[in-house]
Amino acid sequence: MRISRRSIFPMIICVAAMVTIAPTLHGQNNGGNPQQGQLRFQRFVIKDDPNYTGLDVCGGLMPAGWTKEGGVEWDLRDDRPAQLHVHFSNPHGVAAYDMYPNQFFYWNGRLEGKSISPEYRYIGALVRKPPADQFEALEQFVIARYRPELAQARVVEKMKLPDAAKVAFETMPKGGAGVYYSAAVGRETFEYEMNGRMVQEEFFVTFETEVNQRLGYMGWQILNVNSTRGLKGRLGELNILRAVMAKSFRMNIEWYTKITNFVIMRHKMTLDQLQQQERQREILMHMQQEINDQERKEFEQHWADEDRQSDQQADYMREVSPWRTSDGGTVKLPNEYGRAWEGADGEIIMTNDGGYDPNTDPNTNTRWTPMEQKGY
């Protein structure tokens, strides 16, 4: 079984390719989906449980006025114990976006036909027979666990995404003779009634396997699962907002390094069968180490891989371009809006109205700075 920096946490392709969040707009309809008018975003930060690290985990832009629930879920029984599980939603409509935890599994053909406890783990990975494809993985291991109410929803479409699967395969960590790797990506859309309105919810899922034929076992994982919800037939209107969220989302390298080192060290200790006291002492020591050049390089490569995947899976990425922020950074915003303002509180307003100045708008309560569009 492998441990890699790429697979420990949800690749933010979850956000990068499929985030469906609608902004605060004038004259909303479509359950919160965007219309003509202003786009407003606000910054968000997800923090870790203070009983673990208490650090900022990640952050980005979300639509102003939306709510955010959830965060990092810890389960120390798992080999990758910290996973993101986040729900964004429009409190005045049906539009929502959910990011689901990654799941990691182990299977050995000699276990076929044997009774296995649902919570049984081997080196931290749940022991389960692998599904037939990405859609079975989604339905049996994500929907059943996190969204059981969708079991009765009507399936509108199942679509394989071979180009995205190719990129996922290319970025899989590989090593060891006689190990065979595969990756499959898919999109499945459900339709159901919510508050008297017909909605559609679109799930994206990545299913990866690594098979060691010589030793007769395999590791497999379900990654990058997220869902987008909007009024029936109008999910496409959210593509631009997906791209904005995608390019704004970033992980905190300090948190990422601490958790990664913790996972790697714990796995090594488990394999070496060290005594409990020695294991705890070395893990705590390792979690306190500074970020070194190699870790920073791997962190940057991690995000470069994610950007490749998100660009592959989302043609609408071409609908955004970079803008400078007041702190010297960059955010990607829709091309169809020619002017952008950044508030002192981190909120962003976009408009095509050349006469609009949020500093003179009585509905805004902060200082606004014009943003500059940046070339590639």
The segments of the chain whose pLDDT lies below 50 read 1-8, 10-30, 32-35, 274, 313-317
pLDDT reported for residue 272: 65
Contact 65, 55 (CB under 8 A): no
pLDDT reported for residue 273: 54
Q: Is 80 helix (H, G, I), strand (E, B) or coil?
A: coil
Domain ranges of the chain: 1-376
pLDDT reported for residue 127: 94
Q: Where are the alpha helices (DSSP H) in 125-191?
A: 134-137, 144-146, 162-170
pLDDT reported for residue 13: 37
CA 313 to chain CA mean position, Å:
14
Q: Is 74 helix (H, G, I), strand (E, B) or coil?
A: strand
> In angstroms, rounded to a whole number, what is the distance separating the alpha carbons of residues 90 and 64?
9
pLDDT reported for residue 276: 57
Residue 118 parent element (H or E):
none
Strand-pair category, 103-108 with 125-127: parallel
- In the chain the beta strands, taken as DSSP E runs, fall at 39-47, 56-63, 67-74, 82-89, 96-99, 103-108, 121-122, 125-127, 154-160, 179-194, 197-212, 217-231, 250-251, 320-324, 330-334, 339-343, 348-351, 368-370
pLDDT reported for residue 33: 46
pTM summary value: 0.74
pLDDT reported for residue 2: 43
Q: Please list the residues that pair with 73 across neighbouring strands.
A: 83
Strand-pair category, 320-324 with 67-74: unpaired
Alpha-carbon distances of 3 from 9, 167, 174, 286, rounded to whole Å:
11, 20, 10, 16
Q: Is 359 helix (H, G, I), strand (E, B) or coil?
A: helix
